[in-house]
């Protein structure tokens, strides 16, 4: 109950956000009908899978229901996630838990928009509370930059700071992002370099992301993050999104070589699939 006021403030902020369209790398676009206050744009399913074998076999499944809405041209995303972790701590236990998550991208000015996110779970596999905020500013000639902060309540409360710099160049988009996580003994650092090649529309693209470090924003690291944030990790992701008229399909596959003990590494495979039905096509 002590966090109820924060949720109310969060909802009030994004529901009062000014109207405006977003750039195409954001998860949703403005609706065509601006006369209605609340528009359901897309609805569908999301599935994530992570797998590694060391120091024990772990399979982390997350299936979710997702709805993309727009409130006065402010894109909103609501998700209900169901997670199952098999092989935790080397044992045979299997736990399944729920998480509810809301995100918003309000337009602030013609050159500025924000990311706001909040999530709650009563389980031990998701953070009990999560809040995020980030400000994006568009500069002339296709440049963009952002600054933000995230907080989650886990076995310990974790603050981490993030920022990005991006550039549109023809049909391409490039972005460099950093995550900084202060700690008592060490500071975690993560850097990602992303590139997209847009195809027929702003919703169709091929993507590549290179990563260095262990990000607390990555769902699969949450159980391990306090132990591995100072260790080395490198990885790559390939992504593809296709607008199939009534359906929007997104696929991401990744592989990481990550250090989980000093000088001891493991291979970490991940996959993510989104299939959303578009109601206003």
Q: Is 245:239 a contact under the CB 8 Å cutoff?
A: no
CA dist., res. 166 & res. 143, Å (int) = 6
- Tell me, what's the pLDDT at 4? 41
DSSP letter at 264 equals E
Q: Which of 64-78, 99-113, 254-268 has the lowest mean pLDDT?
A: 254-268
CA dist., res. 120 & res. 1, Å (int) = 12
- Tell me, what's the pLDDT at 11? 38
Q: For residue 84, count other CB atoms closer than 10 A to its CB.
A: 14
Q: List Cα–Cα distances, 85 to 91, 223, 269, in angstroms.
A: 11, 10, 15
pTM over 0.75: yes
Q: Which of 20-24, 119-123, 182-186, 214-218 has the lowest mean pLDDT?
A: 20-24
Q: List Cα–Cα distances, 33 to 30, 38, 40, 244, in angstroms.
A: 9, 10, 11, 21
CA triplet 166, 25, 223: central angle to 5 degrees? 90
Q: What is the pLDDT of residues 150-208, one digit of tens each?
A: 998 877 788 889 999 999 999 999 999 999 888 777 777 889 999 999 998 999 999 99
Q: Which of 9-23, 137-151, 248-262, 264-278 has the lowest mean pLDDT?
A: 9-23
N residues, the chain: 281
- Tell me, what's the pLDDT at 29? 38
Q: Which of 50-54, 118-122, 127-131, 162-166 has the lowest mean pLDDT?
A: 50-54
Encoding tokens for residue 128? 């009990």
Q: Is 265:258 a contact under the CB 8 Å cutoff?
A: yes
Q: Is 194:211 a contact under the CB 8 Å cutoff?
A: no
Q: Is 94:5 a contact under the CB 8 Å cutoff?
A: no
- Tell me, what's the pLDDT at 117? 95
Q: What is the pLDDT of residues 233-271, one digit of tens each?
A: 889 999 999 999 999 999 999 998 887 777 788 888 999
- Which residue segments constitute the domains of the chain, with CATH numbers given? 4-278 (2.40.160.40)
CA triplet 137, 141, 143: central angle to 5 degrees? 35
Q: Which of 8-12, 43-47, 124-128, 255-259 has the lowest mean pLDDT?
A: 8-12
pLDDT-derived band at 273 (thresholds 50, 70, 90) equals: very high
Q: What is the pLDDT of residues 76-92, one digit of tens each?
A: 999 999 988 887 554 44
DSSP letter at 16 equals T
Encoding tokens for residue 172? 């391409």
CA dist., res. 169 & res. 78, Å (int) = 31
Q: Is 207:238 a contact under the CB 8 Å cutoff?
A: yes
- Percentage of the chain exceeding pLDDT 70: 78
- Tell me, what's the pLDDT at 139? 96
In 3D, which of 270, 278, 277, 226 has the Cα closest to residue 61?
Answer: 270
pLDDT mean across residues, the chain: 81
- Tell me, what's the pLDDT at 94? 53
């Amino acid at each position: 109950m002590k966090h109820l006021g924060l949720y109310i403030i969060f909802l009030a902020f994004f529901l009062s956000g000014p109207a405006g369209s977003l750039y195409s790398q954001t998860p949703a676009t403005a609706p065509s009908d601006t006369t209605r206050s609340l528009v359901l744009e897309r609805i569908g399913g999301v599935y994530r899978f992570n797998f590694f074998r060391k120091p024990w076999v772990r399979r982390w499944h997350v299936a979710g229901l997702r709805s993309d809405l727009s409130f006065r041209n402010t894109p909103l995303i609501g998700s209900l996630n169901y997670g199952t972790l098999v092989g935790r701590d080397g044992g045979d236990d299997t736990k399944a838990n729920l998480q509810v998550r809301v995100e918003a991208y309000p337009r602030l000015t013609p050159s500025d928009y924000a990311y706001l996110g909040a999530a709650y779970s009563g389980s031990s596999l998701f953070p009990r509370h999560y809040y995020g905020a980030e400000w994006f500013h568009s500069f002339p000639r296709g440049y963009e930059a952002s600054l933000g902060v995230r907080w989650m309540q886990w076995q310990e409360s974790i603050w981490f700071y993030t920022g990005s710099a991006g550039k549109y160049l023809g049909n391409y988009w490039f972005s460099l992002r950093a995550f900084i996580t202060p700690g008592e003994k060490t500071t975690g650092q993560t850097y990602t370099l992303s590139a997209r090649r847009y195809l027929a529309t702003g919703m169709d693209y091929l993507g590549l992301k290179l990563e260095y470090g262990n990000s607390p924003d990555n769902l699969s690291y949450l159980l391990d993050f306090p132990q591995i944030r100072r260790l080395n990790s490198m990885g790559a992701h390939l992504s593809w999104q296709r607008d199939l008229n009534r359906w929007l399909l997104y696929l991401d596959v990744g592989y990481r070589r990550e250090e989980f003990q000093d000088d001891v590494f493991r291979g970490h495979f991940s996959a993510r699939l989104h299939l959303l039905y578009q109601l206003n096509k």
